[in-house]
Amino acid sequence: MKLTEHFTLDEFTRSTTANRLKIDNSVPADLMPNIKLTVSQLELVRQALGTPIIITSGYRCPALNARVGGVATSAHTKGLAVDFHSSFGTPKEICQRLIDAGVEFDKLIQEHNQWVHIGFSPSKNRQIVLTAVKNGGKTVYLNGLV
Ligand SMILES: [Zn+2]
């Protein structure tokens, strides 16, 4: 199902982990408004970058989220966050560009120099910027772009 000009619902739900474990990761009807909000914001992200974005993780049902080690309160489980990368540049360059372009978000995380996590809020976007790094095998979140 096409949601906007550049995004389909399938991009939000496909997951190799869900396929492998036969987890049904389809979006419940009550979360569709969140997905639509996320997609409309992602169009602005794409516009700011000027390049397509490749979603590596979008919606995660609670079972899938638990299997990939996501925190139970993850915005992914509400359809309000995606992990992505883009040919625009490194995750840090992408984050900087989105900040400079004034894109609204609740949380923007540069994750391990490998991908970008962006989350949105249906009420108020807080513009929180974090960098995720490994410290002794554990992920820690530093303030800002490091
Ligand atoms: Zn994420």
Q: Give the start-to-end residue ranges of the domains of the chain.
A: 9-143
Q: What is the topology classification, in CATH, of domain 9-143?
A: Muramoyl-pentapeptide Carboxypeptidase; domain 2 (3.30.1380)
Say how far apart CA 56 and CA 25 lie, in whole Å.
14
Which amino acid is residue 121, in one-letter code?
A: S
Residues around ligand 1, an ion, CB closer than 5 A = 83, 117
Q: How far is the CA of 39 from the centre of ligand 1 (A)?
A: 15
CA 2 to ligand 1 center in whole angstroms: 22
Tens-digit pLDDT profile for residues 29-47: 999 999 999 999 999 999 9
pLDDT mean across residues, the chain: 96
- CA–centroid distance, residue 16 to ligand 1 (Å): 16
Confidence at residue 31, expressed as pLDDT on a 0 to 100 scale: 97
Whether the model clears a pTM of 0.75, i.e. scores above it, the answer is yes
* 66 contacts: CB under 8 Å, gap ≥ 6: 72
What is the dihedral sign for C-alpha 91, 92, 98, 104? positive
C-alpha of residue 75 to centroid of ligand 1, in Å:
8
For the residues 2-27, what does the mean pLDDT come to? 94
Residue 35 Cα, ligand 1 centroid: separation in angstroms?
Answer: 14
Identify the band that residue 84 occupies on the pLDDT scale cut at 50, 70 and 90: very high
Distances (CA, A) of 95 to 71, 102, 127: 22, 11, 12
Q: Which amino acid is at 119?
A: G
Give residue 100 CA to ligand 1 midpoint distance, Å. 21
Q: What's the confidence (pLDDT) of residue 69?
A: 86
Mean pLDDT value across residues 73-96? 97
Whole-number Å distance, alpha carbon 31 to ligand 1 midpoint, is 17
Distance of CA 81 from the midpoint of ligand 1 (Å): 6
